[in-house]
Structure 1
């Protein structure tokens, strides 16, 4: 699990009311509409037509690498274990073909500029140094992204954060390295089916700091079997010892078809209560340590270099996703390749991707009409600690969020999830609202999106 890339669970609940029970961990809403609401697109629209009228002066670029050395027990990302034979080479060949087709589809009528870039997965550093160099070449030479002049975030793991790989990334302009640690306690790492030793994690962190890449992010997970407030404090303090510029605190989710899925499904009030206690402990400890809260999950050290938009960066229009697990966003359509969690299905989709020659069309996706755009804007802003300036919403849509979403916002207010002390013109979650972000987000999903997610067959 790494920042900005953890899929949400399907089947969000209806809008909570004060009388209805609240599950604080409905789903992690990192993107809206969620990929499980995507469907095959009739006629497979041409990318050139989709992007013709879109602004292209501040695009985001995301390259997806679907390989890991091991699949963690909580992981439902689009990834497979290993890349046997020449699979990594075939995948990069396909990625280069796709990049060439997409850059051609963007056209030359208006300037094309990338403002941010990210390599995610999977584990991008599963690739060897030569393959990482080629990945950067695809971003720069095929897409035209100047990696040395924009924010470039790369996800890595303790086992693959080797000195030679990190040297390539630092030399090619990486400004942020995100390490998925999850726990510094060896027994907890094993319980999460994350085989690693603390000594190896610490060594990887030392190598990352040696690169002098300006932003280090560390991911931690709370809610692991056997985790206690004392062991959680151990992981928090171990992470803080490295003075990371960013820290992400993730609640553990157990999802279908993952290694931990044998755990009983359905509501678990005791586990919910445990996760809430650990969240509050972690939040308060980081705040006491001088960190600023950016969202429920994200905390930043004051003075850390800016890396562009925060948690909802992947929500903005103008996202170009390359790779079989990546999504692209225009103002009117979100699209991607097919999605799966089951390892056999993932392998089939990766094989199909590497054999693809025509990357000029969109295959799977979901249209985004005005109502969905309003929901998305409200959701992605409200889940940030800074909140939503109502004037920005009015400027974009010509309406007021209280008029567009009266029931949802009234329900949040009655539960104490909205900050009554926010300055005039600012719609902001209270600390308790931020703690319940994974209930707030799903409550803003539209009925059609809920229905599509509920109808999705996990595979």
Structure 2
């Protein structure tokens, strides 16, 4: 149960080690944009200050924190510490029930970063293989192996205190029904608390779409999803959210699965519009929710890191809409 003053906080970090073939998010590969990371963190701190000021004046109560992107763990341990410390300085996080960080790429995960995140209260991480087939990983532009995923999970469990989500995608290039079944079996053996099964979406601007990669047909994708459902239910997982995107293979859906007691609050808040999402960072989408039948308000920060950094003054000014929205509601 959430109150009218409850909100979720989102931070978008638009950097990844490499760009995946299926991705249309505006994210910059680290090798091409290393010089932008430090000024991005500086700009992000300014936006955290601006939003924190609004939240404090309005008496809003953060109940969930989510670092997404991109891959937030492309930041160094020191940079993650800076951002988390700034969050603690500007927000009262005492009511936060869940703090998730997307550590989606195993090549960005170190025990040092995990210890920093845990020290700041992070209790959920996403380690996203998408596939446990090295051939598929190569086909989608990942620069790691399935063995690296296992090693990353070992680091997470060694540090301790985290629940884990793992994302899989049905319908990837170079994959097959048998390959997907093997992937799911390998992930189940790692026993993550959450497993999210996505269906490949052919997004505008993705390399898969522009290069016309050969993909499994809709019948095979349907079989993959049927196998996933039966296997996950047999292992005690329960579906807790479902959503569809445009241009999904076979017209299927994405489904979040959870072990009992590990439902992801942030995802539920987004899907059900239970509370406002206050977003910071490049491409961050703020959505302010009315609980009286009134009209919601949504606005988005610049997506490209260079535009975000250069326009941070305007980004911070736009956050004044938060207070105006809530004051109008109070009237």
Please tell me the TM-score bracket, short chain as reference. 0.7 to 0.9
Please name the residue that 2:318 is paired with: 361
CA positional deviation for 1:279: 0.8
SS at match of 2:127: strand
- Could you tell me which residue of structure 2 aligns to residue 99 of structure 1? 48
Which of 94, 99, 107 is residue 152 of structure 1 equivalent to? 99
> Contact 2:241–2:268 at 8 Å: present in 1 too?
yes
Aligned to 2:232: 286
Q: CA deviation at 1:196?
A: 1.8
Q: Which residue of 2 aligns with 1:342?
A: none
Distance 1:254 1:337 in 2: 24
SS class of match (1:181):
coil
1-structure distance, mates of 2:71, 2:22: 15
SS of the counterpart of 1:154? strand
Q: Provide the secondary structure at the position in 2 that maps to 1:295.
A: strand
Q: Which structure shows the bigger proportion of residues in helix conformation?
A: 2
Name the structure, 1 or 2, with higher relative contact order (CA <8 Å, separation 6+).
1
Question: In the aligned structure 1, how far is the partner of 2:269 from the partner of 2:176?
Answer: 30
Give unmatched runs, 5+ long, in structure 2.
243-254, 290-295, 326-331
Residues in 2 aligned to 1:173 and 1:363: alpha-carbon distance in whole angstroms: 28
Contact 2:132 2:146 in 1 (8 A): yes
TM-align CA RMSD? 2.5
Larger Rg: 1
User: How much does 1:85 deviate?
Assistant: 5.2
Query: 1:295 and 1:111, CA in 2 relative to 1: closer, same or farther beyond 3 A?
Result: closer
Give the Cα–Cα distance (whole angstroms) in 2 for the partners of residues 223 and 84 of structure 1: 30
- 1:302-317 equivalence runs, <5 A: 302=260, 304-313=261-270, 315-317=273-275
Deviates more, 1:203-212 or 1:85-94: 85-94
User: TM-score scaled to structure 1, two decimals?
Assistant: 0.60
* Residue 277 to residue 307, structure 1, CA distance change in 2 (3 Å): closer
Per-residue CA deviations over 1:37-59 (Å, capped at 9, x if unaligned) read xxxxxxxxxxxxxxxxxx76311
Is residue 134 of structure 1 aligned with residue 86 of structure 2? no
Give CA deviations for 1:138-169 in whole Å, capped at 9, x if unaligned. Answer: 2211233348x531001011101111111111
Give the paired residue count: 296
Say whether residues 1:246 and 2:210 are aligned partners: no
Q: Partners of 1:239 and 1:280 in 2: how far apart?
A: 16
- 2 CA distance for matches of 1:95 and 1:289? 41
